[in-house]
Every structure is written in C-alpha cells, then in structure tokens.
Structure 1
C-alpha cells in the first residue's frame, strides 16, 4: 500500500471522529406532561417556591446557583407574559424545581469565585436533570412538569453559562402553557 493510500484510509477513518468532535451540541430538549383538566388559561401569576436546603440533592447546589436558576426561570416566564409574585397567596400556580446532579469532574476553587463551590474534595458536577413542576395551590398537586437532561456549564459565572441557563429555561417552558 502506498503512502498516499495509507493517508487516504486514515483520513477516511478519522473523518467521523473529527466531525463528531467539532459539531455543536444539540439544542436542549425536554419531556413534558400536564393535567389536561387544569385550566391553564386562568394562570397569570406564578410564585417560585423557596428551595429546600434539607435534602442531599439541594445541599450540593450553591446559593448562587439557586439564584441563577430561579432568575433564568422567572425571566423566561416573564417573556411569556406571566407575572412573578413575591407571595404564595397571590399566585395562580407555584413553581418548584429540582436539579439532580451526576458525573463529578475535577474542579479548582478558582474556576468561579463565589458562584460554584467545588464538592467532594475538588470536584464539580458535569451533568444534571432539571425537573420543573407547576403546582396547583388549591390541590397542592403538580399540574405540569417539564424535565430537561443537560450538560452543566463547564465555566460557571460566565456569559456562556448565563446563556446556557437562558436556553435551558426557554426549552423547559417551550410548551408552557399547554394547549
């Protein structure tokens, strides 16, 4: 086999790898379920429930991350015409969310000062599943749920991470309110 033929074969074998590594990640996708009997047309005001700090999953998320996620979700709902209220008494729906993290990766404490504390001796989570519920305050039951499986921003505290949060929020609420 000539040198030219060997190069051609190597290039043919490496081309799919190069294409896969250089392609941009897919847009965030979600799964969504909802109560078809609930009147979503009557919903105008939404209250974001405070995040519980008592279970293991939320203890692993920093206060800054909670604030960033709350802000991204509230901003997207505001863009869709909903009013975010400060009191649960004023709300037509309560919003609650949960971030299930997985896949620890190495991290330095200098990666993001004050916004992403490393856990487990210098590690940070790389993937997560964000579950957003809309809860009917009268029945205290979820009437809408969206689930987003995503890569977590590798560089928290940056404009890129903020853009990723906004895109995730847009994907989560792409089909809210349901028809």
Structure 2
C-alpha cells in the first residue's frame, strides 16, 4: 500500500503545481485567519480552478459553522473539509461536502477516537496545526493505523521511519517550507519520494 501524501498550507499556484508534479495526492488550503498560511477563498478559488483533475483539494477549518464550511468549499472548488475542532453528529449531518476530523492528540487514548472512520492525527499544541510539533510515535505501536493520516513534525528526514506503522497517509506543512506558506521544491520532492519509496 502506497503512503498517500498531503502538502498543506498551499498559498500559491506555483507551490500547488510543485506539489502535484512531485506526486502529492492532496493539497491543503487553510481558511483559518489566525494562521500564517491563511488564504482567502478568492485566492484559493483562483488556484484550484487551474489545477489538474484527480487531486484532492482539502479545505482546513477551525471553529466554523457548517454553513460557512459548505459555502467556502462550494465557492472555492474544495473537495474535502478538514475539521480542526470538536464536532458532533448534528454538525456533520449539516455538511454538504465530505469531511475528515482532526484529533489533536494529547494522550495515547486520543488516537483511538473515531477509529471506525478515516481521521487525521496531529500533535496537540495551542495553535492549530503547522507548528511542526512531533507526536509520540510509540503511541501507534500495535494500533490499526490503516485509517489514520499522520501529521505533526514530519519532514523529509523522518517520514520514511513512520511507514512501518501502516498509516493511510501523511500530512506535512512546515516540514517542507522555506518560510510560512512558501514551499521549498526540493524538500517537497524529497518528502514525497521518501514517503512513497
């Protein structure tokens, strides 16, 4: 099973195409205004409409209403909503787009939440995502990781070492950047090569 890769915090068409040419399966667009990788729906729409088919376009949200999530995904052409906050069944039922929940894990028990669905597991930190903080990888020993996308503190040097856990995918942002929101083409290429090799 090939490890799927998502390059998150895309802020330009050039970076989007760099990731796609390198073999990324998904791109992430951050619609959280406090993030240094924030992009407006208008900017994201301009990028997404120029992208080739068969690439998942993931819209990242923090503490937004389902109506706002639906509106931004529809407006931009995003194909999946990534929810970095606690949501209940009622919230999910109000969504008109496919979604994935994010677990900001503080304990080993946290990674077992929603274990019947695909989910993204990130290291807990006060800020939401992209802090480069690494999760305790030993928590995943003996756990079925086939529906887990791992995030947090990954880079080209360490991504190969997590493959033995059998994750569905990996998600990287700060680990392939020159500066906030600006991707390094060499780091992107090497990250994806090492993830998929």
Instruction: Decide which structure has greater strand share.
Output: 1
**TM-score, length basis structure 1:** 0.23
Higher RCO, 1 vs 2 (CA within 8 Å, ≥6 residues apart): 1
Larger Rg: 1
